[in-house]
C-alpha cells in the first residue's frame, strides 16, 4: 500500500484546554496540568491508531504551538517580535530575543519519548525549522550577542533537536517550514526564502545521507483558525526553492490547491530519485469531511505525475498548530484522517501497489 502519514497536530482535548487555562490563571497546579497532558496524549494516540493510520504522532497535545516549544521557560525573550498576518485579519506574534546565548528550553525528542510510552505504531516527530526561529533575533541587533553568534547557537540547537529524534527511533523527523511560502509573500524577490533554505541546508549537511532519508520538510500556506497566511502566493514559485532542501521526504499541502495538476507537474520535475513526496489529500481548513472516494480520486490524480514508489499521502497541514485553536473539532480531525487512510487504501488497490 502507498504510505500515508499525518502532518502533526490534532485539536487539544476540551479537558486539556480547560486545564491549560486554569494553570495559566494560577488555579491549577503544574502536576495536575501534567496529568491532563498525559491523558490527552494517551487518548489522542489511541484515537489515531483507531483511524488505521500506519504512522502516527502525539498530536502535539503538549506543544504550545508547532513553532514555540523551544522557547519553553526562556527568560531572555520579550513579547513584541515579528507579526504574522492571516487572510481573515487575525495575527500571531513571535517573541523577540533580548540577550544571548540562545538555547532551546525544550527539545522535540522529549515529546517523542513520552508518546512512545503509549503508541503501538511507529511515531513521526515534527520539529520547527531553524529558519522560523531565526526570526527571533531583533532587527536592531543585540549589543553583546551578534546575529552571527546567534545563528551559530541556533544551528547547534536545531541539529540537536533533529538528532535526538533520530536517536529515539522516530519513523521520520519532519521540519515544519510553514514560513517558506510566507517568505515569498514578504519578499517576492525570493532572497529571504533563499536565505531560509541555505540556513536549513547548513544544518541538514551535518547529517549522513542515511539520516537525511528520514528527515522531511512540510510546507503549506499556514493553517490557523481556519485561515491561511500565504495561500495567495503562487505555489510554483515556491517549489523550486523548497526542493533545494537536502531532505529525503517532502510533505506538501495540495488538497486545497485550486489547480492541483499544475502543482503536480511542477513537483514532478523537481523530485529527485530516492526522494518521497507525500501529497495532502485532506484539507484541515475546510470543515467538510472528505469521503474516501474523494481522497482516492486525489491519489489517482497524483499518480499520473509521480512514480508510485515515491508517492505517499498526508494531511494538508496540522489540524491545530496552535494549542488554543479550536476552530476544528477533534471529531472532524479524526474523521478526515480516517478518510485519508481509507481513500489511500482504495487507490492503492486500483493502482495495485
Considering the complex, state which of residue 219 and residue 299 has its C-beta at the smaller distance from Zn ion: 219
DSSP per-residue string spanning 35-63: HHHHHHHHHHHHHHHHTT-SSB--TTTT-
Considering the complex, state which of residue 182 and residue 220 has its C-beta at the smaller distance from Zn ion: 220
> Which residue stretch of 40-48, 96-104, 237-245, 314-322 sits at the interface with Zn ion (rule: CB under 5 A)?
314-322
> Which residue stretch of 178-186, 201-209, 286-294, 296-304 sits at the interface with Zn ion (rule: CB under 5 A)?
178-186
Give the shortest CB-80-to-Zn ion separation in angstroms: 25
Give the shortest CB-315-to-Zn ion separation in angstroms: 9
- From residue 79 to residue 118, what is the string marking binding to Zn ion with x (rule CB under 5 A)? ----------------------------------------
- From residue 254 to residue 283, what is the string marking binding to Zn ion with x (rule CB under 5 A)? ------------------------------
Q: Is 220 in the site for Zn ion (CB under 5 A)?
A: yes
Reading the block at residue 183, the C-alpha cell is 517568505
| Cα 239 from Cα 108, distance rounded (Å) | 27
For 181-195, b/e burial (b = at least 16 CB within 10 A) is: bbbbbeeeeeebbee
Report which secondary-structure segment, H or E, holds 275: none
Q: Please report, to the nearest 10 degrees, the dihedral formed by the alpha carbons of residues 55, 61, 65, 67 taken in order.
A: -40
> Which residue stretch of 42-50, 90-98, 161-169, 315-323 sits at the interface with Zn ion (rule: CB under 5 A)?
315-323
Q: How many CA atoms lie within 13 A of 288 on its CB side?
A: 7
Q: Is 317 in the site for Zn ion (CB under 5 A)?
A: yes
Rounded to 5°, angle at Cα 84 from 82 and 90: 130
Give the shortest CB-227-to-Zn ion separation in angstroms: 12
Give the shortest CB-113-to-Zn ion separation in angstroms: 24
Considering the complex, state which of residue 6 and residue 109 has its C-beta at the smaller distance from Zn ion: 6
- Asked whether 191 and 147 are in contact (CB, 8 A), the reply is no
- Asked whether 288 and 247 are in contact (CB, 8 A), the reply is no
In degrees rounded to 5, what are phi and psi of residue 304? -70, -20
Give the shortest CB-178-to-Zn ion separation in angstroms: 5
Q: Is 182 in the site for Zn ion (CB under 5 A)?
A: no
Give the shortest CB-144-to-Zn ion separation in angstroms: 36
Give the shortest CB-222-to-Zn ion separation in angstroms: 7
Considering the complex, state which of residue 51 and residue 314 has its C-beta at the smaller distance from Zn ion: 314
Q: Is 231 in the site for Zn ion (CB under 5 A)?
A: no
Q: How many CA atoms lie within 13 A of 232 on its CB side?
A: 9
How far is C-alpha 218 from the chain's CA centre? 6
Cβ contacts of 15 within 8 Å, gap of 6 or more: 36, 39, 40
Give the shortest CB-257-to-Zn ion separation in angstroms: 13
Q: Is 71 in the site for Zn ion (CB under 5 A)?
A: no
H helical segments located in 27-170: 30-50, 109-116, 130-133, 147-167
Considering the complex, state which of residue 43 and residue 60 has its C-beta at the smaller distance from Zn ion: 60
Considering the complex, state which of residue 137 and residue 243 has its C-beta at the smaller distance from Zn ion: 243
Residues lying near Zn ion in the complex (CB under 5 A) are found at 178, 220, 317
Amino acid at each position: 500500500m502507498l504510505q500515508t502519514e499525518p502532518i502533526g497536530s490534532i485539536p487539544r482535548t476540551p479537558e486539556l484546554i480547560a486545564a491549560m487555562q486554569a494553570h495559566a490563571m494560577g488555579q491549577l497546579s503544574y502536576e495536575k496540568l501534567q496529568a491532563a497532558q498525559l491523558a490527552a496524549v494517551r487518548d489522542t494516540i489511541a484515537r489515531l491508531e483507531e483511524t488505521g493510520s500506519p504512522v502516527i504522532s502525539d498530536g502535539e497535545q503538549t506543544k504550545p504551538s508547532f513553532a514555540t516549544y523551544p522557547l519553553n521557560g526562556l527568560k531572555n525573550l520579550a513579547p513584541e517580535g515579528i507579526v504574522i498576518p492571516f487572510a481573515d485579519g487575525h495575527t500571531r506574534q513571535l517573541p523577540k530575543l533580548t540577550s544571548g546565548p540562545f538555547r532551546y528550553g525544550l527539545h522535540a525528542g522529549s515529546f517523542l519519548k513520552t508518546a512512545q510510552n503509549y503508541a503501538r505504531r511507529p511515531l513521526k516527530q515534527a520539529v520547527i525549522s531553524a529558519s522560523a526561529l531565526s526570526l527571533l533575533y531583533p532587527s536592531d541587533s543585540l549589543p553583546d550577542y551578534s546575529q552571527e553568534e546567534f545563528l551559530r547557537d541556533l544551528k547547534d540547537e536545531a541539529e540537536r533537536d533533529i538528532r535526538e529524534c533520530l536517536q529515539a527511533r522516530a519513523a521520520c523527523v519532519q521540519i515544519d517550514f510553514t514560513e517558506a511560502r510566507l517568505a515569498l509573500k514578504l519578499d517576492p524577490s525570493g532572497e529571504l526564502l533563499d536565505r531560509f533554505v541555505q540556513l536549513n541546508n547548513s544544518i541538514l549537511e551535518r547529517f549522513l545521507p542515511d539520516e537525511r532519508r528520514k528527515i522531511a520538510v512540510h510546507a503549506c500556506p499556514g493553517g490557523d483558525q481556519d485561515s491561511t497566511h500565504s495561500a495567495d502566493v503562487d505555489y510554483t514559485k515556491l517549489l523550486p526553492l523548497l526542493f533545494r532542501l537536502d531532505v529525503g521526504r517532502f510533505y506538501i499541502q495540495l488538497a486545497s490547491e485550486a489547480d492541483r495538476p499544475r502543482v503536480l507537474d511542477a513537483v514532478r520535475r523537481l523530485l529527485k530519485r530516492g526522494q518521497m513526496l507525500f501529497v495532502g489529500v485532506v484539507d484541515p481548513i475546510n470543515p467538510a469531511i472528505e469521503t474516501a472516494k474523494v481522497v482516492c480520486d486525489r491519489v489517482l490524480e497524483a499518480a499520473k505525475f509521480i512514480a508510485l514508489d515515491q508517492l505517499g499521502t498526508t494531511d494538508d497541514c496540522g489540524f491545530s498548530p496552535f494549542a488554543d485553536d479550536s476552530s476544528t473539532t477533534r471529531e472532524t480531525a479524526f474523521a478526515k484522517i480516517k478518510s485519508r487512510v481509507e481513500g489511500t487504501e482504495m487507490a492503492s488497490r486500483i493502482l495495485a501497489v
